[in-house]
Amino acid sequence: MISYRLSCSRRESMLLGAILITGVLISSAASQGKAVTAQTGEAELIETGGTGTNFAMTEEDYSALMKQLAGSPVFVPMTKKPKDLSLQARFGVNFVLGGLNRAWILDGDDVHGYVLYADINANGDLGDDPPHRFNVINGRYSLRLQLTAKSKDGEETYPVTMMIVIDRVAPPGKADKQLALLMYGRTRRHGQFFLESGDKPLPFVITGSSGTYGGPYDWIYFDMDRDGTFDPDLEGYQISERYVNIGDVTYEFAVDPYGRSAALTPLAEKKPARAILLAGYLAPEFSFIDLQGANRRLSDYRGKIVLLDFWGTWCGPCVASVPGLVAAYERYHARGFEIIGIAAGDDREKLLAFTTERRMSWPQVTESDNGPIASLYRITGWPSYFLIGADGRLLVAAPGGEKIDIPGELAKLFPERGPL
């Protein structure tokens, strides 16, 4: 991997920035009424939480990367540089706009300031796009951009709001910090549903990235208790979940690809309530076939301490965490510690070779990014971990790639034995 993430949040955040799959306002054949549509307000930039971390590189390293990515349908290589770049100029990728991965150049230093050249028009020429100068905000060089992007078919244009912050970050597994751009491109839009079954409007919020919404990893939040806040664990739904129970009715939800509206369509039959992924609740049951062809179920491990490891060989932070997991497994396995690896989007043979080489001797299963297990556990970032107690209840849940202290948690669960 050339571009690392502190956590690989969403698969399209990886190198090559895969194109978002947008939602459409449709309902299933099992609906029992007309869709209720609600308009949303203006987009607001989300300036907290995870970011895309794009490391700057020399021109030589960038040229080598271009050769590796030649022929990619979403990568736009740089064909021409701006004139009069300084020796401090650094190059990069992952400036994703309109589903295309564009090049960028950062020129300057901490004393004289920085200028960003980005291939906004996606023609490969960074000299015909206007330069953008960073300002010092809260002690850091920051840049706010208001851009316009086009849909793949060119028929739609939509606004894109983003913020870029210059920082120095140590790549996973390395000690030395490197110059990097922190990309803030997540936005939210508010609205209200007026449902026949409720006497009060139902506030909601949708979130998207780079001006698009309704992708499988985007979110919609419903203020079920009307308290003016949105509990991400109880009131947040990934778009890929599709359904929400409101009162005694199950609704299918959908979001406009550009976030202008959302819709709820009532279904004829109520669906079961979804699992609650909080400490103290039972871990959702699932079955899988491991790389050796054995049929397994999560409940087979009842009586053991189990770590669910959602990861991928393509994810830099995931790979960096492997030695620590191997050490923990070797230390505690004989005392009742198990790991189940759920690899996202990995080829079976490649995964088998990788895990064998790295001495990852616990069961592994591979599925797509939004496969049945990842969807059940509502995974939004990699690596993600769930620590499950001997009684099958969740001890720690981190579906969004949040950092957890695995050695510390295991030390509490498996205290060192004193002398006899």
Question: What is residue 71's predicted lDDT score, i.e. its pLDDT?
Answer: 86
pLDDT at 320 over 80: yes
Note the pLDDT of residue 171.
83
In this prediction, residues 43-47 reach a mean pLDDT of 95
Could you give phi then psi for residue 161, rounded to 5 degrees?
Answer: -115, 130
Average pLDDT over residues 37-44: 97
pLDDT computed for residue 198 by the predictor: 63
Q: What confidence score (pLDDT) does residue 50 get?
A: 67
Q: For 146-190, what is each residue's pLDDT tens digit?
A: 999 888 777 889 999 999 999 999 987 788 999 999 999 999 999
Judge contact between 365 and 341, C-beta under 8 A.
yes
Q: Tell me: pLDDT of 27 over 50.
A: no
Dist. CA 184–CA 179, nearest whole Å: 16
Whether the pLDDT of residue 365 is over 60: the answer is: yes
Q: pLDDT of 120-134, one tens digit each?
A: 999 999 999 999 999
Confidence at residue 180, expressed as pLDDT on a 0 to 100 scale: 96
The CA distance from 241 to 216, in Å, is: 8
Give the residue extent of every domain in the chain.
47-184, 188-266, 287-413
Going by pLDDT thresholds of 50, 70 and 90, the confidence category of residue 296 is: very high
* Average pLDDT of every residue of the chain: 89
pTM: 0.79
C-alpha 380/C-alpha 366 separation (Å) is 16
Per-residue confidence (pLDDT) for residue 28, from 0 to 100: 43
Contact 338, 304 (CB under 8 A): yes
CATH class of 287-413: alpha beta
pLDDT at 24 over 80: no
Percent of the chain topping pLDDT 90? 76
Mean pLDDT of 214-236: 93
Model pLDDT for residues 64-75, shown as the tens digit of each residue: 999 999 889 999
Ranking 137-151, 240-254, 345-359, 395-409 by mean pLDDT, the lowest is 395-409
- Residue 419: pLDDT band by 50, 70, 90 thresholds? low
The residue ranking higher by pLDDT, 16 or 90, is 90
pLDDT greater than 90 at residue 12: no
Dihedral angle, C-alpha 240, 244, 250, 255, nearest 10 °: -60
